[in-house]
Chain A
Amino acid sequence: MRPASYIIIGCLCLCLFKGQKLLAQHARIELFPEEIVMGQHGRLIIEIEAPSEGTVILPGINDIETVDIEMIRYGAPDTLHKDGQLVSLRQNHVITAWKEGYFPLTPLVFKHIAKGDTTIFESRAALLKVQGVDVDMAEQYKDIRPIMRIPIGLRELIPWLLLILGLALLLFFLFRWLRNRKPAEAEESIWEKPDVPAHIAAISSLETLRRKQLWQAGKTKQYHSELTTILRLYMHKRFDINALEMTTSEIMQLLDRKLDKQSHGVKAREILEMADLVKFAKHQPGPEKHEWALETALDFVRNTIPAYHADEQAGHASFAEPLKKNTDAG
């Protein structure tokens, strides 16, 4: 065969290959519906077939929109099919128009880029028919429609009902918790009750302290702290001195004036000073000293009951007596 024949056969093969490639790229546009009413949303469906190798460049919004046709939503490309040779893409745009008439959609241009070669191909043109709205001029003008109210259903109510139920449960448990811890508070708040005289509150608190058996459990510091707090609370209520905010020496200075240095005042000083040693100097008195401190505190309270309360006690069944028995028993 001659060399010229080889060249001719080669050119023919190239043409065939090129032709195959051209045939493989295909774009189709469709309007659905082809006829819309002014302002109605219509769909512009674009379908492309191209070789799977390479990139297809699709027309943008500006390529589709015209003076009369408006793009409402630009649809993202969706791959319908892909194999080793071809890829099928679809775009679903939403368009509309605001004028009556026929509006042509010019052929859209697509590009396929593969291995540095760019192939341009086009779709066919399409025609959008837009109908006007019939206006009955005989009728009266109507007002703008109000906002539509959607009736509230069970689905909307359920979260609220659950929230109310949850809050109710929370309140219920909170109430129960508060009710259960009330007895513990009641003993502490005896000092808060205005109708309970200071000596009753003090004796009651001292007896409660005895029942707690703190020093027997090795809690000496706590025992003396609570004992002195009761004593200072009593002094505060009985003698109207801010004993809780005062040091032992300050309390005794004031108390000496009020009690005129009576012996029970001296005893009170001894209790407070011993408690100071326990609280601040790790002093560990013997067991008899713990009992002595409590008994002396009780004596101090009983000996400093105001005269009008002491008269009341003499007239009625005394609270001091049963306490005395308790003391003896303890």
Chain B
Amino acid sequence: MMDIKELNERIQQESVFINALTKEMQKVIVGQKDMLDRLMIALLADGHILLEGVPGLAKTLAIKSLSMAIKARFSRIQFTPDLLPADLIGTMIYSQKSEEFLVRKGPVFANFILADEINRAPAKVQSALLEAMQERQITIGDHSFALEEPFLVMATENPLEQEGTYPLPEAQVDRFMLKVIIGYPGREEEKRILRQNMQQEFPVTSPVVEPADIIKARKVVRDVYLDEKIENYITDIVFATRFPDQFKLPSLSPLISYGGSPRASINMALASKAYAFIRQRGYVIPEDVRAICHDVLRHRIGLTYEAEAENITTEDIINDILNKVEVP
């Protein structure tokens, strides 16, 4: 086991690029600090991110800027009801010249994917993407292709216009490490956005990091020290979503139809480590867990009809749990 002091020093050296990356992204994105932080967490913890927010909140710009700052390949896929899995992963095309089938790779073969309005495509297309996210490889015909690292999918869901959409099934939503809800910018931020867009030239992100640096940083993130007390804290939070009675939260029992899966615990631990790394720390503290807890759990808790009838959201449930589970 590495010494914490040594690890701290190593992390302070290795995480220098985070500041540069954030600074670069903030050149084009005004505000939305939480979204940028969560993007970094997903990137460093090797996860994927589901964004929910109304149109025009710089979701596309954020991931595009991130890919430019990392000098990585970026693809944007607009999910529509008539999209087919082959449009996403690619297909075999017959070449008359060579008289054989050739593989035509789809847009999923990139480092950063923006799956815009993922809930507008039917289940088979969603499954194709989610399988790629999980397996990190694509099979076209007889050939399997490993996806390039780093591979990050940022899917967006529009909370408006829900008619004719295909909501992601629970098992598939669970594959996203984080679900981030984006709100409107503040008044001052809005004014800054306005000014920025009125300029002659829109700022452009310059590459500051190589994809190899991200892969290296991911290894360091895994080394961040997570004490048993923090493990217990994470387990308690996840268990409280499953058995609220055991945590003196009997009022939540009729509101929760299912709690967080073991993937919730794993992702909470990984995201906490990534958050600690971003804060240039070699160990996780309860603050890190609480910071990412909502984003890890909000799509992993099922609400009952009773909760929906009473307009209770998963946010309320997570808040109640955090206010009841003892911090180590």
Please list the residues of chain A having a beta carbon within 8 angstroms of any beta carbon in chain B: 225, 242, 244-250, 276, 279-283
**23 interchain pairs (CB within 8 A)?**
A225-B229, A245-B324, A245-B325, A245-B326, A245-B327, A246-B327, A247-B286, A247-B290, A248-B285, A248-B286, A250-B287, A279-B229, A279-B328, A280-B227, A280-B230, A280-B328, A281-B227, A281-B282, A281-B283, A281-B285, A282-B227, A282-B283, A283-B4
Other than the given A248-B287, A281-B282, 9 more pairs (CB < 8 A) read A225-B229, A245-B324, A247-B287, A249-B287, A250-B287, A280-B328, A281-B227, A282-B225, A282-B227
User: Do B328 and A245 touch (CB < 8 A)?
Assistant: no
Interface residue ranges of B250-302 to A (CB < 8 Å): 282-287, 290
Closest to B284 in A: A280
The residue among B8, B284, B326 with the most chain A CB atoms within 10 A of its own CB is B326
Does residue B199 face the partner (Cβ distance < 8 Å to A)? no
Does residue B77 face the partner (Cβ distance < 8 Å to A)? no
User: Do B326 and A247 touch (CB < 8 A)?
Assistant: no
Does residue B200 face the partner (Cβ distance < 8 Å to A)? no
A247-B285 contact in complex given A279-B229, A280-B227, A282-B225, C-beta closer than 8 Å: yes
Q: Say how far B106's CB is from chain A's closest CB, in angstroms.
A: 44
Bound-state CA distance A220–B278 (Å) is: 28
Partner of B326, one of A244, A280, A281: A244
Classify chain B's interface size: 20 to 34
Does residue B323 face the partner (Cβ distance < 8 Å to A)? yes
> A249 — which chain B residues lie within 8 A by C-beta?
287
Does residue B322 face the partner (Cβ distance < 8 Å to A)? yes
Interface 1/0s, chain B 303-328, versus A by CB < 8 A? 00000000000000000001111111
Closest to B326 in A: A244
> A245 — which chain B residues lie within 8 A by C-beta?
322-327
User: Do B4 and A282 touch (CB < 8 A)?
Assistant: yes
Bound-state CA distance A225–B326 (Å) is: 13
The residue among B8, B282, B324, B328 with the most chain A CB atoms within 10 A of its own CB is B328
A281-B4 contact in complex given A244-B326, A245-B322, A246-B327, C-beta closer than 8 Å: yes
> B323 — which chain A residues lie within 8 A by C-beta?
242, 245
User: Do B285 and A276 touch (CB < 8 A)?
Assistant: yes
Closest to A277 in B: B283
> B8 — which chain A residues lie within 8 A by C-beta?
281
Bound-state CA distance A281–B286 (Å) is: 12
Q: Say how far A169's CB is from chain B's closest CB, in angstroms.
A: 33
